Amino acid sequence: MMRVLVLHSDVPRDAPADELDTLITAQAIAEALEERGHRAHLAPFVFDPEAIRGLISEHRADAVFNMVEAIFRQGELASVVPTLLEKLNVPFTGCRAAPMALAGDKPLAKRLLRLRGLPTPDWDQPPFAALADDRRYIVKSATEDASLGLDDGAVVMGREAARARADGCRETYGGRWFAEAYIEGREFNVSVLEENGAPRVLPIPEMCFHNWREGRPKVVGYAAKWEEESSESLNTVRHFISEEDEPALCRQLTELSEAAWRLFGLRGFARVDFRVDEAGNATILELNPNSCLEPGAGLAAAAAVAGMSYADLIEHILRAA
């Protein structure tokens, strides 16, 4: 039996769905830990080292289950939490601070991937001098997850359209934005667990776009992730591919996921997102070292296919810490 402090983002009850998901997930994790015989206590993160030290002491926590995905609603500040927990000498789940910060800065992460020889789509940041006028791009937040600002309008043609989209997103959401070459093809979200200090790639799901009108960009946008009754959500379906049917593709995705894990020095659990073009070439879109652990999300689904219950998954992540 361990005493575990489940530390989560300080989310108001009237927050949007992507932020409320943190509270739902934290509660599910606490229940899973209790199911496995541990004592779990939930607490919101506060930006005060002495207050966190006090929480750990109050609950006599043997470990912290880190579910802080944002501070002051800013995802790029999440790496502050492992920095603080390292200073307090308490075991915690998931990634250390430096890899989390590196992976969380998507253009920087892509630069590191490219330097290591790992495939990632071409990209550029404002003023977008390297973009072509006759190529499609997808405009993304440089630092935020949860598909912030991603919808059909995020896919644009050429430099000027990318610049206009990035300017509009910066005005609406703030922060930095960049443009990445849009890869027409299949999308895969590969979940990875730490096992005996090494990455273990779980069964691989493809995100399939059903009833998608011709020419519409195939993007798992904000609506698909967080608006459960939307057509985007209902028609974006997870389907696990078979290693027997597609051995070369499974091997390619596995090897690239393991290489990315090792390059960034990830720990605990993570997700690596891919696009695969018509020729079967996989490219890494981004890494998420603090991927969603909600019971219905991709990592839990992949673990289930691998024969792990949700409680098994949470226990595994705790033990890795």
Domains and CATH numbers, the chain: 3-93 (3.40.50.20), 102-119+184-320 (3.30.470.20), 123-181 (3.30.1490)
Q: Would you give per-residue pLDDT tens digits along the chain (321 residues)?
A: 999 999 999 888 778 877 888 999 999 999 999 999 999 999 999 999 999 999 999 999 999 999 999 888 888 899 999 999 999 999 999 999 999 999 999 999 999 999 999 999 999 999 999 999 999 999 999 998 868 889 999 999 999 999 999 999 999 999 999 999 999 999 999 999 999 999 999 999 999 999 888 888 998 888 888 788 888 888 899 999 999 999 999 999 999 999 999 999 999 999 999 999 999 999 999 999 989 999 999 999 999 999 999 999 999 999 999
Could you give the C-alpha distances from 270 to 39, 44, 122, 227, 254, in angstroms and in order? Answer: 25, 22, 23, 24, 13
Start-to-end CA distance of the chain, whole Å, equals: 15
Residue 174 zone, left/alpha/beta (φ > 0; ψ -120 to 50; rest): left
Angstrom distances, CA of residue 13 to CA of 20, 58, 189, 222: 7, 25, 29, 20
**Spatial separation of the C-alpha atoms in residues 107 and 103, rounded to whole Å:** 9
Q: What is the DSSP string of 89-145?
A: T--BSS--HHHHHHHHSHHHHHHHHHHTT-----EE-TT-TT--TTSEEEEEESS--
Q: Residue 254's closest CA among 278, 282, 280, 277?
A: 282
Structure token digits, residue 45: 């993160």
Phi and psi at 316, nearest 5°, equal -60, -45
Q: Return d(Cα 9, Cα 19) in angstroms, integer.
A: 8
Q: From edge to edge, which strands make up the β-sheet containing 136-141?
A: 123-124, 177-181, 136-141, 155-157
What pTM value is reported for the model? 0.94
CB of 9 closer than 8 Å to CB of 75: no
